[in-house]
Every structure is written in C-alpha cells, then in structure tokens.
C-alpha cells in the first residue's frame, strides 16, 4: 500500500483495503496488509488481539473480497446495497452493525458534504467501508498512528463517534460566530444581504441534523440487549458517547432555531423599511396633488380662466395651493398616526 504523507490519503491495494491495523493488549496498533490480516484472523497469535480493516467500496473487488475472506453477516452486505443513510447501531447475527454518516474529508477543511460509513464489529474484527474519504475516520487513523491504545473494536467505534462529535462541535462553533456577527449587524441597524447566508447555514445545519442523528430505537435495543462478547465497559463507553453525541445534535437543533428567529427578525425589519419607503413615496404624491390639479385647470386653452386679468392672481394661486397642501399633509400624517 502507498501512503500519502501530505494529506493522509491512501491508495487501495488489490482488494480495496486502504489500511489495516493489528492491536494487541497494551500495545499501539501496528499497520498490516490484507495478507497478514487474513493470516491473523485464521490463527491469532494472542487471544485478545483484534484487527481493524478500512476499505474503499469504490474498488471493484472490495465487496467480493469481503464476502470471500471475512466472516461478516449477510445483513451487512444488504445494507451496503440498499443505500440506507439512516444513522444507526444495531445488533445483528452476533455482530454489531453501524451505519454512520460523516463529513467528507476536504484537505483539512471543514466541509458540509456528508457521506456514509458502514461498520461491522465482532469480538476480534472491526471492518469499516466507505465510498469517499471521511473526516472522522481520518482523525481515528491519526490517533492510532500516534500510538493511542485501544483494547477492543468497540472502543475504536466509540472513538469514531467522539471524533464525529468534535467535528460537529467545531461546525456549531463556527456557525455560531457567523450568526453572532449577523445579529450584531441587525442590532446596529446595518442590514446587509445576510438572508442568503443565513439560509445557506440553516440548510447545512438541517441536513447535518437529519443525516447524523442516531436512531434512538436501534440504540435502545442495543443497550438493552448487547452481544455476549461486548464487555460492560464497552457498553458504558458506547452509552456515554451516544449521550454526548445526542447533546451535540440538540445544540445543532437549537442553533437552527436561532437562525430561524434571526431570519424572521430580518424579514420584519426589511418589511418595516419597505413600508416606510412606500409611505414616503405616497406622501410626496399626495402633497403634489393640489398643485397638479390647479395647474391642470389653469393650463386649459379655453376662455373664462379666473384671475387672468387680476394683478395679484399669481399670489392668490400660491396661497391657495399652499393651503391645500398643508391641509392634505395634516390629514395624511394623522392617518399615519392612526395606524
């Protein structure tokens, strides 16, 4: 296998294996290839050792190799084909099946694109498969490469959920800063074109909430009836990780509601500005109405125009127009006060 030193992306081997790690009690994970992984699964050197295999489903031979060499339940492969993206963790056929939606890895940047990771865990094996590079999986691999100790496949899965929670926390924090900035502009009456930005942020949050939230029913069934090989410590860690993840999803929901309220406030402010502008234009039209009417009458090319021979006729008309304008203006402002 060829590993990129720049961004941590790997080229799959002949069977789609991106990387594999062998874990022994009290030792950090050691990277292995597909041949050594199969050898260890057939004849483990130590009873408590386990293996993590991460594969790319984009490779044509990946699914066929998993079916031929790994003892995985048929439900796992059915889940791969059905394309269900609902995040869940289930106990099926003496194995733990997890469908986890994660943020796509984008060269160290936080992306809003979401892809799916399929995970199957047994007592001595953890298999994860994906179509696109995922951020949380990359963080988990980095932790393993840094020498962090793991004692079971479930501890790896719990670490993955916590990494995903950390990423969501980062997204919530960055979005909150942007919302604070827009809210400050609203309070200082410096409204700019922020509605499109708020709409984009809200769409991202709703999408992440819909795809990343765990199904409570599947998790409850798992915690009430865990597999026999699952240790009590694993169950406690899994419960703690899912509770923490649920709190983060709640923060995500609360931030979405805050953005919704801010959108409504901005819409109300803009509507108020539009009404004020419309009233100003109406007032200009109303105040110009008397002089337009009088000018229309006196501009007619007919005989008998009044005050035509009067020396003070101009000033009489000015006084008449001014009086009508003041009366109409008072009436218009009084009507505005009534509303």
Predicted confidence (pLDDT) per residue in 162-217, tens digit: 887 777 788 788 888 888 887 777 766 665 566 777 777 887 777 777 766 665 56
Beta pairing class for 30-32 and 50-56:
unpaired
Which has more pLDDT, 212 or 69? 69
Percentage of residues of the chain with pLDDT beyond 70 = 82
- 137-169 pLDDT, tens digit each: 888 889 998 888 888 888 888 888 888 777 778
Coil/strand/helix, residue 127: strand
Counted residue by residue, the chain has a size of: 339
Mean pLDDT score of the chain: 77
pLDDT reading at 135 higher than 50: yes
pLDDT at 8 (0 to 100) = 41
Which has more pLDDT, 264 or 105? 264
Instruction: Please state, as a whole number, how many other Cβ atoms lie within 10 Å of the Cβ of residue 178.
Output: 14
* For range 79-101, the mean pLDDT: 77
Instruction: Give the C-alpha distances (Å, rounded to integers) separating 124 from 47, 170, 231.
Output: 9, 33, 13
Q: Roughly what angle, to the nearest 10 degrees, separates helices 232-287 and 289-298?
A: 30
The least confident of 40-54, 85-99, 296-310 is 296-310
pLDDT at 152 (0 to 100) = 84
pLDDT reading at 125 higher than 80: yes
Question: What per-residue string of b and e applies to 70-98 under the rule 16 or more CB within 10 Å gives b?
Answer: bebeeebeebbeeeeeebbbbbeeebbbb
pLDDT at 214 (0 to 100) = 67
Percentage of residues of the chain with pLDDT beyond 90 = 2
Q: What is the distance between the alpha carbons of residues 4 and 145, in angstroms, rounded to a whole number?
A: 14
Which has more pLDDT, 70 or 313? 70
Place of tokens 């004849």: 43
- Which distant-in-sequence residues (6+ apart) come within 8 Å of 312 by Cβ? none
Instruction: Find out whether 159 and 143 touch, Cβ atoms under 8 Å.
Output: yes
- Which distant-in-sequence residues (6+ apart) come within 8 Å of 300 by Cβ? none
* For range 321-339, the mean pLDDT: 72
Instruction: Find out whether 4 and 10 touch, Cβ atoms under 8 Å.
Output: yes
pLDDT at 1 (0 to 100) = 33
| Cα dihedral 281, 287, 292, 293 sign | positive
The token duo for 294 is: 């009088």
Closest CA to 23 of 126, 158, 161, 129: 126
DSSP 8-state symbol, 167: H
Instruction: Find out whether 56 and 12 touch, Cβ atoms under 8 Å.
Output: yes
The token duo for 126 is: 């953890």
Beta pairing class for 50-56 and 95-103:
unpaired
Q: What is the distance between the alpha carbons of residues 103 and 135, in angstroms, rounded to a whole number?
A: 6
pLDDT reading at 5 higher than 70: no
Per DSSP (E only), the strands in 104-219 are: 114-121, 125-130
Instruction: Find out whether 325 and 290 touch, Cβ atoms under 8 Å.
Output: yes
Instruction: Please state, as a whole number, how many other Cβ atoms lie within 10 Å of the Cβ of residue 258.
Output: 17
What is the CA 8 to chain-centroid distance, rounded? Answer: 24
Tell me how many degrees the CA angle 103-181-111 measures, rounded to the nearest 5: 10
């Amino acid at each position: 296998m060829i590993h990129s030193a720049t961004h941590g992306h790997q080229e799959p081997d002949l069977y789609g294996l991106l990387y594999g790690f062998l874990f022994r009690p009290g030792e950090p994970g050691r990277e292995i290839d597909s041949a050594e992984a199969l050898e260890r699964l057939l004849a483990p050197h130590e009873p408590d050792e386990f293996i993590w295999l991460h594969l790319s489903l984009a490779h044509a031979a990946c699914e066929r190799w998993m079916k031929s060499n790994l003892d995985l339940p048929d439900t796992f492969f059915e889940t791969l084909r059905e394309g269900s993206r609902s995040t869940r963790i289930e106990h099926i056929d003496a194995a733990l099946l997890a469908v986890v939606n994660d943020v796509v890895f984008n060269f160290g940047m936080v992306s809003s694109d979401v892809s799916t990771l399929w995970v199957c865990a047994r007592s001595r094996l953890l298999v994860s498969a994906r179509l696109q590079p995922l951020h949380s999986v990359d963080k988990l691999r980095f932790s393993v490469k840094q020498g962090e100790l793991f004692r079971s496949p479930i501890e790896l899965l719990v670490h993955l959920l916590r990494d995903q929670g950390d990423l969501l926390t980062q997204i919530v924090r960055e979005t909150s800063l942007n919302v604070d900035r827009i809210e400050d502009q609203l309070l200082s009456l410096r409204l700019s074109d922020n509605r499109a930005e708020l709409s984009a942020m809200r769409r991202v949050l709703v999408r992440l909430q819909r795809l990343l939230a765990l199904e409570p029913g599947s998790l409850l069934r798992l915690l009430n009836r865990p597999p026999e090989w699952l240790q009590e410590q694993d169950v406690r860690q899994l419960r703690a990780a899912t509770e923490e993840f649920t709190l983060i999803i709640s923060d995500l929901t609360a931030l979405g509601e805050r953005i919704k309220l801010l959108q409504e406030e901005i819409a109300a402010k803009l509507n108020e500005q539009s009404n004020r502008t419309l009233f100003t234009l109406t007032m200009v039209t109303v105040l110009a109405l008397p002089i337009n009417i009088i000018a229309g009458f006196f501009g007619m090319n007919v005989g008998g125009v009044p005050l035509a021979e009067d020396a003070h006729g101009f000033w009489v008309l000015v006084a008449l127009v001014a009086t009508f304008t003041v009366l109409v203006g008072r009436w218009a402002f009084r009507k505005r006060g009534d509303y």
